[in-house]
Amino acid sequence: MGCRLLSKLDIKKCFGINDVGMLYLSQFAHSLRQINLSYCSVTDVGLLSLSSISGLQNMTIVHLAVEVEPCDVWKQQSQDVLVR
């Protein structure tokens, strides 16, 4: 696919980007190191799919519809990503 070498992605204020887009991105953008998802339509489900990108080092997330409290899996995986 065309985004295998993608290392930086800034999709700030791309309101049409959602969890489905994050799922595809996580499957094909294994070289992704930095992403800005601010003001997108991504939720905690989309962020969870990005946790499979092992080299992701920097994620900017401002004003997302993320519900962290009731999701223990999300908390653990987000902590794992932050520790990397």
Question: Structure tokens of 70?
Answer: 């009731």
Secondary structure element (H or E) that encloses residue 45, with its range: helix 44-50
What are 24-46's pLDDT values in tens digits?
Answer: 999 999 999 999 999 999 988 89
The answer to whether residues 56 and 35 touch, using CB atoms and an 8 Å cutoff, is yes
Secondary structure element (H or E) that encloses residue 48, with its range: helix 44-50
Residue 72 resides in a domain: yes
Residue 2 resides in a domain: no
CATH value at residue 27: 3.80.10.10
How many domains are there within the chain?
A: 1
The answer to whether residues 7 and 31 touch, using CB atoms and an 8 Å cutoff, is yes
Instruction: Read off the pLDDT band of 3 (50, 70, 90).
Output: confident
For the residues of 13-28, what is the DSSP string, one character each?
A: T-TT-BHHHHHHHHHH
Model confidence at 68: pLDDT above 80? no
Q: pLDDT averaged over the chain?
A: 83
